[in-house]
Structures are given as C-alpha cells and as structure tokens.
Structure 1
C-alpha cells in the first residue's frame, strides 16, 4: 500500500481513537447508515438491481419491491444478517478459521442456493471477463486452510489495512465458492478491520469498473493498485466518522459538504444531486435528514460519466 496513503489512514485512525468513547447516538446513526450503504453497494457490485432506497425499505420495513426477484430480496436480507453475524464474532472475539469463512458464506447464500451455501465448490470454474482461472476444486480446501495460516503469520507483520486488503484479494483469487465470493471476501475484509476498531470500508458500486480493473491487475502481479483502492475506501470511512464526530472539522477536499454546496463544483442542480445520492450513483451519506458528499466524490462521479470513460 502506498506509504503516504497508509500514513494518512493510520493518522486518522489515531485521531478517531483519541475521541473514544464515541457519542453513542452518533455511532448508532453511523452504523445504521454504513450498514445500509455497505449492503446496497456490495450487492449492486454483483448485479443486484435494488436501489439504495429499495434496499432500505426491504431492511427496515420488510417490504417486497415489485418487479424485483426473490433472490435480490434475499441477497439484501442475507447480507445484513452477515453483518450482524460479524458483530457477534467481534463481541465473542472468535478467531478467523476455515469454518468461520464457510459459516459467513452460508449466510450469504441462505434461501438462495442452500445446497451450495457454506460449501467449497466441487467443480472447476471460470470467471466471466477475467483472465485469471481459479485453482482446481481439488485444491480449494487446502488453499483456504493456507490462507487462514497466512493470516495468523502476517497478523502482526502487516498493518491492519494491508492485512484486510490482502485477505480480500487472496480469497477472491482462490474463488472457493460457486457463488458469493465477492460478498464473502468484503465481509471478511471488514471483519479484520472492525476487530481493530476501524469503521467498515465500503467499496462503492460507482467504483465497480475500477474495482474489477485493479483486481485484474493484481491477478497479473500488479497488486499495488488494488491495495491502494481498498486503502482509499478505508480512509473514506474514517473521514466520515471524523467529520460526524468533530463538529468543528474544516470543509476541505476530503470533508463532507451539503449537496447545495456541491452544486458549486459541478453543473448539476441540487435536485439532480439529491437523485444521484438517493440512487447510490453519487457517494454520499445522510446526516440526520440531509445528504452530504465530498468534493472528491463529485470529481469521481464526473470522471465516471465523462465521454472518455464510456
């Protein structure tokens, strides 16, 4: 991971730790917002078509969204259950193990594919659009076992952000399950982070193309892009926490600004920015009743929709 980025992450983490114990009401609100955003984005990356608002309705009110598949509803419910399970693991201080990985995957595929839920794949697979061919099914058990061993060997050698990012990449590289590998890897990545007091890192659906690109680059031996990509997601979450807790924080490029202020940095109206935020197309968080974003998020969105990226 880029040393400057890593130092920035570690500095923000120390700053957050100095503010502990954090205000309960703010933490509860942040947790609620993060878990919604995490669930929406992780599922959307894998092709789930429920919007951020629809995901919220499914989670909070148990509403069935018309013209959406039952599978998509279960993906939302299961992912939130996976997050809840991670919180229990952290409270119980349960160690990461081969069985724990299967346990989390079992939750992800519950009521979707019960036969494959929590079961290492028994057939060889190819990943659509990727040059990497996952290891043969016969090697999966031993490779995951080796990954767990690698985790404990490197637990004190690597920084937590690097450890979490590497674990994510190595699990996806093995591709131990028929389906649900990405969601499982992102849950485990955040388990490693949250165990050490980091907020969860949310990989945004908006960044899906870049996410897959840096994964492909890592498959070809260029892992720095993926590590930095995850690092920036970790830093983003720390910024959100710090800006929520420190009411006197300066509104710099990384700080959160209102959507009204954001209109100064693009040609979009307040109403259109609000629509982008509600649909998850613009990276934004809701503080009380107001959507907040960053200048960096606006610049990222503009870059994504520019003609050269079509």
Structure 2
C-alpha cells in the first residue's frame, strides 16, 4: 500500500527515495506517521531531561545530528543524516555542512559574548537552523527542541511553550508560527520570541 502524505502549508515534501527510508512499513497515512514520530520524539525528550551539556558540545555538528537521530531513528533509516535532495526551503544540500558550521560558530560566539538576550540566542539559532534545513524531515521539531535545550541547559530558564499547540497540525497557532518565521527572515525575531513564550 505504501505511505501517502498530505502536506500542509510550510511542510517540506519528502522525495520517493526518502519515503522508502520508512522503517515501519505498516504506516500508510500522515496521521499514523505523526503518531510514530511523536512517540520517538518523546523518547528523545526523556533523554534530554537527564542531559548535561557544555556550550561547545551543544553547538557541535555531532550533537545536532545525534539529536535528530534520537528523535527519528525508530521511524526513518536516514535519521541523523543530512538530506541529499533540494527542498522548497533550505540551502543547497551540498552547502549544509558549511552553513551549519557557520551557525554553530556564530552561536558559540553569541553565547560567550552575551551578544543577545538568552531568549534571542535560542530563537536566532532555531530560525537559522530551520532555514538551513539539514534533514529530509523533522527540521521544525528539531529546531524547536534545540531552542528548548539552549534556553534550559545553557541558561537554566523555562522551556518555550511554542504557542502551547501541536505545530504539525493545520491550525491558527501554526499560522501565527509561520508568520513569525517569515518576519524572522527579515531579522526581526520579536514575533517569534513572543510566539515561543505564548
């Protein structure tokens, strides 16, 4: 039968090759996929609760890929591996490592030099990494978890609420989130910070 995915605004389509990386052949709908991914993500979040991490570890390529793998490895064979195809968002796939290295260096500089407020460092990082779009799927959820880890593990502040809503479903909060991301594309992070703290 195979997996059939209906995409909503802002979601990135998977290629046929990427869909073939599904580890659970019985999944056939977007709803089923969302459920299995959520279970995997919850396991990853449990892992992060006990996590103690230094800034130079958190802002490393190894951590970025390892976190994605922990979030999606039960569902996708390519979890933790960079995409090898072009998407409707993100840098050219062959620029991912270069752009990510620049972001990680920038983020460590922001942290060490207190360049921005704690929240803005976390949200700038979230926005930049989702714009790079490192992985075939799960970039938004991965970027939000990274922002949560930055704010909780490095700054000892509360998790972001992200509008207290499931942002993978089409709803009013998702629309606000997408609008805030588009404003952040023009270097105005205030709406995205406000949304993250709703």
1:201 partnered with 2:174: no
The match for 1:135 is: 91
- 3-state SS of paired residue (2:156): coil
TM-score, normalised with respect to structure 1 = 0.48
The match for 1:161 is: 119
The offset of 1:174, in angstroms, is 0.5
Identify which of 207, 211, 220 aligns with 2:177. 211
Identify which of 133, 139, 145 aligns with 1:181. 139
Root-mean-square deviation over aligned CA pairs: 2.5
User: Which sections of structure 2, spanning at least 5 residues, go unmatched?
Assistant: 1-8, 12-28, 166-171
Q: How far apart, CA to CA, are the structure 2 residues paired with 1:46 and 1:216?
A: 11
Cα gap change, 1:83/1:46 in structure 2, threshold over 3 Å: closer, same or farther? farther
Q: Is the 8 A contact 1:151 1:167 kept in 2?
A: yes
The offset of 1:215, in angstroms, is 1.4
Q: How far apart, CA to CA, are the structure 2 residues paired with 1:92 and 1:167?
A: 17
Q: How far apart, CA to CA, are the structure 1 residues paired with 2:48 and 2:194?
A: 21
Q: How far apart, CA to CA, are the structure 2 residues paired with 1:68 and 1:181?
A: 16
Q: How far apart, CA to CA, are the structure 2 residues paired with 1:87 and 1:143?
A: 28
1:103 partnered with 2:69: no
Identify which of 103, 106, 111 aligns with 1:150. 106
The offset of 1:68, in angstroms, is 8.3
User: Which sections of structure 1, spanning at least 5 residues, go unmatched?
Assistant: 1-44, 48-66, 128-133, 237-310
Matched length? 162
Cα gap change, 1:46/1:105 in structure 2, threshold over 3 Å: closer, same or farther? farther
Cα gap change, 1:111/1:150 in structure 2, threshold over 3 Å: closer, same or farther? same
Q: Is the 8 A contact 1:98 1:144 kept in 2?
A: yes
The match for 1:55 is: none
Rg (Cα) greater in structure: 1
Q: Is the 8 A contact 1:165 1:189 kept in 2?
A: yes
TM-score, normalised with respect to structure 2 = 0.72
